[in-house]
Chain A
Amino acid sequence: MYFESLAALWDMDGHGIYVWLAYLLTMCPIIVMVWLPIKRFRQHWRWIEAESRRSGIDVGGAAGESAR
C-alpha cells in the first residue's frame, strides 16, 4: 500500500474529503443504474407470470401444461 497507515489513507494530506466524496457520489448512481433495471425486470416478470396464471392460456403447449 502507498500510504503508511489507515489514517493517512483517509486524510490523503488534506485531500481525503474530496477524493472519498467523489468516490461515494460515483458509487451511488452506479448502484441505482444496476438496481433499477433489475427491479423493473423482476416486476415485469412477476406481472407476466400472474397474467399467464390468471388467463389460464396454454401458450407453451405441453411445457405450459407441466409448468401449471
Chain B
Amino acid sequence: MNVPATLKYAKSHEWAKLETDGTVTVGITDHAQEALGDIVFLELPEVVRPLKSGEECAVVESVKAASDIYTPVSGVVIAINQAAVDAPESINQDAYAAWLFKLKPNDAATCTAELGALLDSAAYTKVAESE
C-alpha cells in the first residue's frame, strides 16, 4: 500500500495536500482505489462551489460500486481534474497523481487546524490495514 508521508489523510480515504500557494489538492488514496477496483466514472463538484470540511461533494464510481467523497478541508472549489474525468482509470494507475479537485481555503488558520486534525501517513496506514 502506497501512503506518501508528504500528504494528510481522512478516515474516509481522501488525501489532502497543502500547496505552496496556500491552496489544497484533494484525491482518493491508493488503498481506496484498490478497494473500489476499476474506476469508470467521476462526478466532481462545480468550480466556485463552497465546501465545508466533511461535506459530501463528489462521487467515484467503479464497475463494482459508487463511493461518496467528502472534502477533508473547507474552501471554495477552484479547479477540477478534467483529465481524470475523461480517463477515470488514471486513478487506478496513480491515485496521488490523479487528483480530483483543488480548494482555496477561506482562511489560513482554519485550514491549518483542519489539516492538523487529519491523519498522517502512519496513522492512516493503520486505519487502512484494519479494514
Do A and B assemble together? Answer: no
Residues on B close to A: CB < 8 A?
none
